[in-house]
Structure 1
Amino acid sequence: MEAPARWSRPPSSRRMVARLVQFVGTVGAVMSVLPPRHHQRVTLLADMVPTAGLLTARIASAVIGVLLVYLGSGLRRGKHRAWQVALVLSLISVVLHLVKGGLVPVLIAGSIVVVLVWQRDEFTAPDDPRNRWRAVRACATFLGAGFVLGFAEIAVRGNHLDGHFGVWSWAEHAALGLIGVTGPVRFVYPLGDLTVSITTGAFGLLAFASGGLLLLRPSTGTRREPADEDVRLREMLDRHGDGDSLGYFALRQDKQLVWAPSGRAAVAYRVVNGVSLASGDPIGLGSEWPRAIAEWLAECAAHGWTPAVLACGTAGGRAYQKAGLDVIELGDEAIVEVAGFTLEGRPMRGVRQAVARIRRAGYTCTVLRQRDLSAETLTEAMACATALREGKVERGFSMALSRLGDPADGECVLVLCRDEAGALRGLLQLVPWGRRGLSLDLMRGDRTAPNGLTELMVVSVIEAAAGLGVARISLNFAVLRSVFARAEELGAGPVIRLWSRILRAASRLWQIESLYRANAKYQPDWQPRFLCFPSARDLPRIAIAALTAESFLPGPGSRRPSGAA
């Protein structure tokens, strides 16, 4: 049997073209803002092209330069649309540099046109066809707005025109102004001419710049139909779901699946800003993982996506590493073995006291499968989850289901915590982890409740686990937990201590250390989780895509929870 394909870096020729295009864009942008050196040539051009046209040409050259720099990323990934736009912009850049003067920029822009045509076969990755219509709509909107405003400004100055011009001349002048060309209308006052030129020219630049950016938006692939694949995926999780506590989260509605040719393994992923984010280990038969990964990497290469894996386990990390990706430790997952858990002993003193204190205050917990809850109780839980959510969006991607109350999730376990008056003050949702495990998905708690609410809910589900047939429970994930743990050890080195201080400072904005402490109190077993990526230069893009998917940054990853809104 043929060995599965490995991920490889883009061809050197493609990287060279991308760098050249970015260099040309940088030079063009810089030359556009520098004062012209050839005054005689500028004077000659001014006789042929109006001053407003020269000004617009210089601004347009700067905009095109910036766009060429932006296109470098798409060219590096082999995007055909990026190649097309880069070629058109380079041709336009040649013309604009001729208009505003400067032989060197013309030669540089012309050379890049030759290189792009010569290497055209390297850029074949398809784009989302929907982007074309989005670009057309954006471009038409800005052009329409610029035309209307320019026409209105001419109409307002109708009594200050140098001559008699009809409505058609006004329209021609406004339309030509969108492409930086002065129309037939002449104004008595130069300020009026300049105002109309700036308005129409600015909207023209906005139209083509926004259209270009939308045209270059990365594709997100073909979304799967949940009805077609959910049953198949659930069957796979039932047979092979014991290995990874994150397997059930592949059932998120925003994740896509790519299957091994045999259909016995799959990789769940989502495309965000040109990064294909997989999460957790591949699903299915372990021997088929390499072929599922190969299919996913082939899809990434075909679409020009950057592959990345969030929070895979040790087995998954090894499989992705063999496929050509680099691997670094991301943090640790806290796993509680039900049989060995006890509240006795000095290490558990804090948890024991917190649970006893809140129970004395009259708080109680109910632990049931979702299918065993009444419709009224489930509705109450959904309303509570929404009311107690911090922020307007549901955070999470790799370790969150982002829905509550779906009938298909009947095996999920809910922990409902009520106060002495019977009011619901907190809840947990845990999803199945194979046949004998649970994985924490959702945690909500009323901040006005007494201390110990979270401890009571966690301890309650651990105590009820045996009755539910559960042997292990996965709690939260602690980012870079090993740094804090090693910094507390005797003889910790200066690098570890410095790194620990940096993370503690970052914890003021993100719950890094506090999440580690919150999990450590239950004395769990720590299982490492890893980040997989092609190369270090891709890490900034991957980090932004991951934060967007997890809803820490605004974007397509920000979403309200299904069934809990």
Structure 2
Amino acid sequence: MAEIVGSLDRAVTRDDAPGPSPAPAGIAAVPPAQGSWLKRIDWSKAGLLVGLALFLIAAFVLYDTLEDLTWNDIANALSRIVWHQVALAFAAAALSYAALIGYDILALHHVGAKQVPLPAVAFTSFVSQTFTFTLGFGVLTGGAVRWRMYQGYGLKPSQILAVGALTTLTFWLGIATVAAICLLFRPSSLAPIDGLAPNLNFIIGVAVLVGVGTWVTVSTIRKRTLTVGEVTMPLPGPQATLGAILVGLLDTVAAAAALWLILPAGPDAGFISFLAVFAIATVLGVISHVPGGVGVFEATLLLAQPQIPRGDMWASLILFRLVYYIIPFAIACLMFGAYEVRQRQQEVGQFAKALRSFARPIAPRAAGIAVFLGGVVLLFSSATPEEHYRIAILRTIIPLPFVELSQLAGSIAGMVLLIISYGLVRRMANAQRLAVLLLLAGAVCALFKGLDVEEAIICSIVAGLLVLYKDEFYRQAELFSVRPSFHWIIACIVAVGATIWLGFFVYSNVDYQHKLWWDFAYSDDAPRFLRATLATVVVAFGIAAYIIMHRTRAAFDPATREELATLEPLIEASTRSDAHLAMLGDKRFLLSASGKGFTMYGVQGRSWIAMSDPVAPEEEIDGMVWRFKELVDRNGGMPVFYQITTGHLPAYLDAGFSLAKLGEEAWVDLSKFTLEGSEGRRLRQAKAKAERSGATFELVPAAKVETILPELEAVSDAWLAEKGNKEKGFSLGFWSSDYVRRYDQAVIRQSGRIVAFANIWRGADKKEYTVDLMRYLPDGPAGMMDLLFIGLLSQAKSESYQWFNLGMAPLSGLARHPLASLWSRVGAFVYRRGDRFYNFEGLRSYKDKFKPEWRPKYLAFPGGLALPQILMDVTGLISSSPRRALSEETT
């Protein structure tokens, strides 16, 4: 606080004499010509010169003291300190700071600012004093804190300035009185510093006490004032002076005790002598203007206490700096920061929200990198020796088995962190939870194996960031279901290899023998490194083997019959005939928020493939596109919509999907369908041809399908055998007894024998009519499929349906322009040239004779280079879904 006084222009006058005071009787006035040189002296600069001189002297003393001293000497001295004494030193420091509150209380009372509550005074005093003690420059540090805090309680600027000046003045009164009292009892204690005889030091102490007593007497008789710039304030009277002396005595005794308690045991001159030296060292440190009196304070104590070994003295001084300066300063910073945050809650909240919003997109990748580096830190730590002085401390508090296990556990945690860090990039919730646990475990292990505080702090910070952004890790996929990229695997191999190289380089002078594996001691770093390396390599190979052998399921279990039963009302109420694909039993379902619609989907590899548009009311479909994408994102998959229509393309584009045309679907307007006149001539001829061969069309209701089910199955088996194909599903029907008996069947008979059939789907509100599963005998009559479709179209029209869906012509209608997309050009080429594999053009030509309206169908996918993999996954899902559904049916 003395920096405040040194930086202010001040003058002391009598309160009844506003002008210059006349010279006392018997003392000649100094002529202006002779006294003007005194006025031209900048006394603040003179104070700085005195401080600089003190610092240079202290620097010389410290250089001489430290010339033959090594860090090992200080470390050994620290290891000999009894730690319960450190706890007592903390208590003494707390008492000292509590006493310092008295200076602010006295100053506030003196300027009439009694409205400031005691907790606020204590807070302000602690923060301002720690800032001033540690940083120096009291006007800019402690004074600024007082200004910031006290103006909130209505104090005027002049009052706040007066408080700062008065606390400084009372501080000097208190510490001067303490030093003087100590000189009366131990006048010889300052002899090593000032070189004066004990009697002379005694006289100095008496003179200081007489001066303080005179001040008390004069202030009792006549009040004095202090002028700082344009502000005039009353100086402390006898009560305030005596209060300052009492506060200073308590503060200095407590602060001195904080250092006294951690001094090494040995010969000493007693606490009173030490108190005098401590007070003088504090005064010299303040005069030097060095923050915290660093150097000057230490040099004074070293000179005044020659009987204490230098290494022990330095160890105690370093620990005192930590106890009395560094830790209180850190606490004060946190308290002041919390106060400022509280005062600006709205602004801080907005800033934190903006910062969080900015960091959210990069948080998963940044977390993955940070966790990877945290794993590297733990691995490198196991490959390097511990500090000897830390091991010496650790030996007294941690049993050896815990040290050994901590080394192993820390290395294993580091190895696993390298591997799961990739899961954080993919936003996996399991990876986030495991990473937090491993980082916290790594922090504990770092402390237990060698008091590696730095590593523990790094791990704790990274864990804290993961907890802070835990909402960004929401995907519920299995931990090792997402394989790391090649680059990530190489990075893990490099990190482990570098750790092993570093360890063998550090311990290159160790004679490697088999017995090293069984050496257990606090100082045996090399054996611990060997065991940790072996454990790390074993865990790495174990995890790699698990990832290689662990096969994530290509798909999941289909929906149960109970789940399908809950969907039946929604399917029956849907105007879309393809909603009946849900009843195949090879899909799972995502219900809409209202429960009035659903999205049917399957999973193959990383692709989550929804079949067509969501089956829901029109107003809910756009939201369900997002809902499905969110579901897939939570599980770390790739969302795909297969065979979507043009009705809701903006919803898919808004959701970030790219589109690829799959082909066109044939829709027959039943109001225009006829077998009459010239338009129906070709269809009449086809029908007549089939009927002449003995073929007839019949509609079998679902209630009677059971009676013909064996015949239908025989037709289906013959068709599959002739085609040489396995059943396909997902986007089209396959043979399943439960599925077939659910629907009306259109059958073609020849001489009473069923030669072809198709199951019928009907949409609600008489809008759509179509067929799904179609099978026929290879040796059936000519024209039987024409008769089947003509009979179906006529039946649909007779039932007053609006449209008949003839199904899709794959790759039909794709652009052939040179500037079209690569997919479109490749698809168009396959459509023209791929008849060897599939009759693309023939299928379209066959459906064209019914004069349909062609409507495009699209694939919605995430874009980029994922399309080839997605098409492979769709093909795999169509091929495998019947097997999954039928196996579910038989269980």
**Which AA in structure 1 matches 2:876?**
T
Give the conservation status (yes or no) of the 8 Å contact 1:548–1:558: no
Instruction: State the shift of 1:447 in Å.
Output: 2.4
Whole-Å Cα distance in 1 between the matches of residues 653 and 432 of structure 2? Answer: 31
Give the conservation status (yes or no) of the 8 Å contact 2:429–2:475: yes
**Which AA in structure 2 matches 1:531?**
L
Instruction: State the shift of 1:238 in Å.
Output: 3.1
> 1:414 aligned to 2:745?
yes
> 1:238 aligned to 2:569?
no
Whole-Å Cα distance in 1 between the matches of residues 846 and 664 of structure 2? Answer: 13
- Paired position in structure 2 for 1:393: 726
- Paired position in structure 1 for 2:861: 533
- Paired position in structure 2 for 1:280: 612
**Which AA in structure 2 matches 1:284?**
A
Whole-Å Cα distance in 2 between the matches of residues 447 and 293 of structure 1? Answer: 42
1:451-499 per-position Cα deviation (integer Å, ceiling 9, x unaligned): 322111111111222344533221121123213xx77xxxx88979996
Whole-Å Cα distance in 2 between the matches of residues 563 and 426 of structure 1? Answer: 28
**Which AA in structure 1 matches 2:476?**
P
Give the conservation status (yes or no) of the 8 Å contact 1:317–1:530: no
Alpha-carbon spacing, 1:388–1:286, altered in 2? closer, same or farther (3 Å)? same
Whole-Å Cα distance in 2 between the matches of residues 456 and 17 of structure 1? Answer: 65
1:340-391 per-position Cα deviation (integer Å, ceiling 9, x unaligned): 1124566766544333222111111212332244x32233223322332234
- Paired position in structure 2 for 1:507: 835
Alpha-carbon spacing, 1:501–1:129, altered in 2? closer, same or farther (3 Å)? closer
- Paired position in structure 1 for 2:670: 338
Structure 1 unaligned segments of length 5 or more: list them.
1-9, 20-67, 87-114, 132-180, 182-204
Instruction: State the shift of 1:306 in Å.
Output: 0.5
Give the conservation status (yes or no) of the 8 Å contact 2:599–2:610: yes
Alpha-carbon spacing, 1:130–1:440, altered in 2? closer, same or farther (3 Å)? farther
Give the conservation status (yes or no) of the 8 Å contact 1:550–1:558: no
**Which AA in structure 2 matches 1:424?**
I
> 1:215 aligned to 2:546?
no
Give the conservation status (yes or no) of the 8 Å contact 2:757–2:774: yes
Number of aligned residue pairs: give it.
Answer: 398
Give the conservation status (yes or no) of the 8 Å contact 2:587–2:600: yes
Give the conservation status (yes or no) of the 8 Å contact 2:693–2:782: no
Alpha-carbon spacing, 1:129–1:469, altered in 2? closer, same or farther (3 Å)? farther
The match for 2:756 among 426, 430, 441 is 426
> 1:307 aligned to 2:639?
yes
Whole-Å Cα distance in 1 between the matches of residues 735 and 680 of structure 2? Answer: 33
Q: How does 1:306-325 map to 2 (within 5 A)?
A: 306-325=638-657
Alpha-carbon spacing, 1:429–1:129, altered in 2? closer, same or farther (3 Å)? farther
User: Larger Rg: 1 or 2?
Assistant: 2
Give the conservation status (yes or no) of the 8 Å contact 2:690–2:784: yes
**Which AA in structure 2 matches 1:236?**
L
- Paired position in structure 1 for 2:810: 479
Whole-Å Cα distance in 1 between the matches of residues 464 and 836 of structure 2? Answer: 51
Alpha-carbon spacing, 1:449–1:523, altered in 2? closer, same or farther (3 Å)? same
Instruction: State the shift of 1:267 in Å.
Output: 1.3
- Paired position in structure 2 for 1:264: 596
Whole-Å Cα distance in 2 between the matches of residues 73 and 359 of structure 1? Answer: 67
> 1:454 aligned to 2:785?
yes
Alpha-carbon spacing, 1:391–1:232, altered in 2? closer, same or farther (3 Å)? same
Give the conservation status (yes or no) of the 8 Å contact 1:18–1:75: yes
Instruction: State the shift of 1:213 in Å.
Output: 3.6
Alpha-carbon spacing, 1:333–1:521, altered in 2? closer, same or farther (3 Å)? same
**Which AA in structure 2 matches 1:370?**
A
Give the conservation status (yes or no) of the 8 Å contact 2:727–2:735: no
The match for 2:795 among 464, 484, 494 is 464
Q: How does 1:152-171 map to 2 (within 5 A)?
A: none
Whole-Å Cα distance in 2 between the matches of residues 337 and 482 of structure 1? Answer: 20
> 1:542 aligned to 2:870?
yes
Whole-Å Cα distance in 1 between the matches of residues 368 and 884 of structure 2? Answer: 34
Alpha-carbon spacing, 1:363–1:304, altered in 2? closer, same or farther (3 Å)? same
Whole-Å Cα distance in 1 between the matches of residues 463 and 782 of structure 2? Answer: 64
Alpha-carbon spacing, 1:17–1:558, altered in 2? closer, same or farther (3 Å)? farther
1:149-189 per-position Cα deviation (integer Å, ceiling 9, x unaligned): xxxxxxxxxxxxxxxxxxxxxxxxxxxxxxxx9xxxxxxxx
Alpha-carbon spacing, 1:363–1:537, altered in 2? closer, same or farther (3 Å)? same
Task: Name the SS of the counterpart of 1:529 in structure 2.
Answer: strand
- Paired position in structure 1 for 2:476: 126
Task: Name the SS of the counterpart of 2:856 in structure 1.
Answer: strand
Alpha-carbon spacing, 1:349–1:494, altered in 2? closer, same or farther (3 Å)? farther
Give the conservation status (yes or no) of the 8 Å contact 2:557–2:884: no
Instruction: State the shift of 1:281 in Å.
Output: 1.5
Give the conservation status (yes or no) of the 8 Å contact 1:403–1:563: no
The match for 2:711 among 380, 393, 406 is 380
Alpha-carbon spacing, 1:326–1:423, altered in 2? closer, same or farther (3 Å)? same
Task: Name the SS of the counterpart of 1:531 in structure 2.
Answer: strand
Give the conservation status (yes or no) of the 8 Å contact 2:709–2:741: no
Give the conservation status (yes or no) of the 8 Å contact 2:746–2:758: yes
Higher RCO by CA contacts (8 Å cutoff, separation 6 or greater): 1
Q: How does 1:5-154 map to 2 (within 5 A)?
A: 77-79=426-428, 125-128=475-478
Identity of aligned residues (%): 23
Give the conservation status (yes or no) of the 8 Å contact 2:579–2:615: yes
Whole-Å Cα distance in 1 between the matches of residues 566 and 556 of structure 2? Answer: 20
Structure 2 unaligned segments of length 5 or more: list them.
1-359, 370-418, 436-461, 482-533, 535-540
**Which AA in structure 1 matches 2:843?**
L
1:101-145 per-position Cα deviation (integer Å, ceiling 9, x unaligned): xxxxxxxxxxxxxx99999977663335998xxxxxxxxxxxxxx
Alpha-carbon spacing, 1:214–1:223, altered in 2? closer, same or farther (3 Å)? farther
> 1:224 aligned to 2:592?
no
